[in-house]
Amino acid sequence: MPTIHAPAAASPTTQPNPTNFAITLMEHLVVPTFVLDADQRVLIWNRACERLTGIPAHEVIGTRDHWRAFYDTPRPCLADLLARNDWSLIDKLYTTHDEPDTPAHGVHAENWCTMPRRGKHLYLVVDAGPVFDDAGKLIAVVETLRDNTESKLTQIKVAEQASLLQHHYDEHEREARMARRILDHQIRTDLIRQAGIHYTVMPATNFSGDLILAARSPDGRLHALLADATGHGLAAAVSVLPVVQEFYRLVEQNEPLSGIVDAINFVLANSLPAGRFVAAAFVSLDEQAREGEAWVGGIPGVQMIDDSGRIVRRFESRNLPLGVTREADGIKTFERFSWAEPARLVMLSDGVVEATAPDGEAFGEARLAHSLASPRSEDLIARLRAALTAHLAGTPAHDDISILVIDCPA
């Protein structure tokens, strides 16, 4: 076929030939572009296409060898598929592509290309569109190219990092589930049921660092513990793990509350790393004698409320948290109490009073006292949960929330 030449400069009295002007314009486009005729021979191979492929126009004009710019072996380009109106190979030839339902509007595809003359592996974004004459007959196909290699490599790297993060996350979740099963297996829910306590735990994450235990000793005394380890999540839960078996062992041996606290403190002080400790509250009740004993260290005070929900006594924190020191001086304050009328003991982790609303206001002691002011017939746990949920207003809690209620019967 005849070679297409750029038009000569137009004289002042003549108008440029529209066809030649269009060819010249396409030759100087900054977008790499080539044009095939209806027989798939190269009509135009612009300068940007020469720079992208490393192949000069004179090597491909008038040939069907344009594939050599992109691949090591013969295969159709997107413009060839459009010229043939044959899309049976598009899935095999391109990693990403539009469905060519209306090829008259053009077709988009993307693929890795070997670029033999450049000696590079490039990811090209390709768009091909047909050109028809006035009778609707295909006369040419225009294909534009864009080097998207850097963006694609970044995308691949991000995908690899996301896959790696997902792997680490999945591994963490598996380990967390295993730790949760281990901890759940250690906690004797049958002993908690026999103790007759009421409680709830609302973890800040999928793993709570708060712990609630209860059991009756052989002499019938009820022992209950609410523990709150430093932080929350898996690390906090692991911190309270040594407490579980020690608590059950000591209760089974009829150990007095002072001995239970001392032994658990010794275990934690010798097992936890520096900076880790467990705030806790212990209660021991002799329901027949209507007498009890409380120990509180680093946790909100234990409330004693009457049948109307009025606070009649509060056992404040007068001890260091467990595991802070091996010395007994910091953990030796116990408070004895008795009751003549039915009462309830309410033990809380600090996640309750510190629960923060969207406006930054903490739940606080005043809201706690208001929530406790309910008759015995009302479910106190449900009332407290509802008050906390309303206060948080959809905001995630920053710390684990635990509530333990113990009856002191008449």
**Of 3.30.1490.20, 3.90.230.10, 3.90.380.10, 3.30.450.20, which CATH number belongs to 18-147?**
3.30.450.20
Q: Nearest-CA neighbor of 100 among 119, 126, 134, 63? A: 126
| Separation of alpha carbons 20 and 26, rounded Å | 10
| Separation of alpha carbons 165 and 174, rounded Å | 14
Residue 126: partners with Cβ closer than 8 Å, 6 or more residues away: 77, 78, 94, 108, 109, 110, 111, 143, 144, 145, 146
What are the sequence ranges of the domains in the chain? 18-147, 151-186, 187-408
Comparing 18-147 with 187-408, is the CATH topology the same?
no
Token representation of residue 143: 């294909």
Global pTM value: 0.61
Residue 179: partners with Cβ closer than 8 Å, 6 or more residues away: 207, 234, 237, 238
CATH superfamily of 187-408: PPM-type phosphatase domain (3.60.40.10)
| Separation of alpha carbons 164 and 146, rounded Å | 30
Alpha carbon separation from 334 to 121, 254, 300, 302, 360 (Å, rounded): 76, 18, 15, 12, 35
| Separation of alpha carbons 268 and 276, rounded Å | 9
Give me the residues paired with residue 222 across strands.
216, 285
Alpha helices in 199-306 (DSSP H): 234-252, 257-271
pLDDT, tens digit only, all 410 positions of the chain: 333 433 444 444 455 566 676 677 788 789 999 999 999 999 999 999 999 999 999 999 999 999 999 999 999 999 999 999 999 999 999 988 888 777 777 899 999 999 999 999 999 999 999 999 989 899 999 999 999 999 999 999 999 999 999 999 888 778 777 777 777 777 787 788 888 889 988 877 666 668 889 999 999 999 999 988 876 566 666 777 788 889 999 999 999 999 999 999 999 999 888 888 889 999 999 999 999 999 999 999 999 999 888 999 999 999 999 999 888 788 999 999 999 999 999 999 988 988 899 999 999 988 988 888 888 888 888 999 999 999 999 888 888 888 999 999 88
Residue 76: partners with Cβ closer than 8 Å, 6 or more residues away: 67, 84, 89, 93
| Separation of alpha carbons 281 and 348, rounded Å | 9
